[in-house]
Amino acid sequence: MGRAPCCAKVGLHRGAWSNEEDKLLTHYIQTHGDGQWRSLPSKAGLLRCGKSCRLRWMNYLRPGIKRGTFTVEEDDIIIRLHTVHGNRWSFIATELPGRTDNEIKNHWNSHLKRKANYGGVENQLDASHKKSKKKKKINQKLKKVKITEEKPVENLSQLASTQSASLSLSKNNSFDNGVMSGASSCGSTDQGGEADLAVTDLWLADWSPLFEMELGSDQQQVLAFEKCVLDLDLDLELMMSSDDESMKLEKLYTEYLNLLEDGGGEADCN
């Protein structure tokens, strides 16, 4: 016996919400409160799925939602939090009052990802996405859907294989010399531009796979370290401002190991 669908799809409205639907939903929730989303649409006189109602309320109709352009400060917060936490949009949203996870996610995908510029990796992903959409359109016309998408980069070793600013870890808790030599070479004067890009890429990369790789599946350790990274934000910035590329990475990783040793998996940053 499979689970019943959240709502009967037949006869329900889909797509953009009309003003009338917004009014009905807002009025009902203001009168009766939210929750009970499955039964809410029928009670409110809406021909919508409960999930759709919840999404509409949470993301657009709820009081206190901040609309409009993201400020530079907000962009900065998003980039910093994304660096540490990855695509945990709901968490990031808690740090930006009035902004929803959906809005932040869209803003990241349409503006910040490009602004942050992960280098060739993101360009490849964008290209892949566009190529996929084009293929899909074509295939829809042909009434034959067959979409092949390139997998996104999932870890740093993949990232390393696609960029000059490569990074990997060896089993004996040190950065792989061969790879590091490549990163170091980016710091040479005749490749200054590349060096800047390399630092940016490393700093903005999603480090969570690295943490998971070293800490296994112990989520408490991962969270403890993430907290420490946030607490040590200034120190990390200081480290990353170092002139020598290899030193930056060594310092960062050494700090990480120290945290683990000091805290025995429960690193205390205070």
Q: What one-character DSSP code corresponds to residue 58?
A: I
Terminal-residue alpha carbon distance, the chain: 52
Nearer to DNA (CB atom), residue 5 or residue 264: 5
CA dihedral 153, 154, 156, 157 (to 10 degrees): -80
In angstroms, the CA 128 to CA 202 distance is: 22
Nearer to DNA (CB atom), residue 102 or residue 162: 102
In whole angstroms, the minimum distance from the beta carbon of 168 to DNA comes to 22
Nearer to DNA (CB atom), residue 4 or residue 234: 4
In whole angstroms, the minimum distance from the beta carbon of 101 to DNA comes to 5
In whole angstroms, the minimum distance from the beta carbon of 265 to DNA comes to 21
* Residue ranges in contact with DNA by CB under 7 A: 1, 3-4, 6, 9, 13-17, 35-39, 49-52, 54-56, 58-60, 87-91, 101-103, 105-107, 109-111, 114, 126, 130, 132, 134, 136, 147, 152
Nearer to DNA (CB atom), residue 88 or residue 227: 88
In whole angstroms, the minimum distance from the beta carbon of 55 to DNA comes to 5
In angstroms, the CA 133 to CA 189 distance is: 41
In whole angstroms, the minimum distance from the beta carbon of 49 to DNA comes to 7
Nearer to DNA (CB atom), residue 108 or residue 225: 108
Residue whose C-alpha is closest to residue 240's, from 210, 208, 196, 209: 196
In whole angstroms, the minimum distance from the beta carbon of 175 to DNA comes to 27
235-241, Cβ contacts within 8 angstroms, sequence gap of 24 or more: 240/199, 240/203
Nearer to DNA (CB atom), residue 39 or residue 188: 39
Burial class (CB in 10 A: 0-12, 13-18, 19+), 91: middle
Q: What one-character DSSP code corresponds to residue 189?
A: G
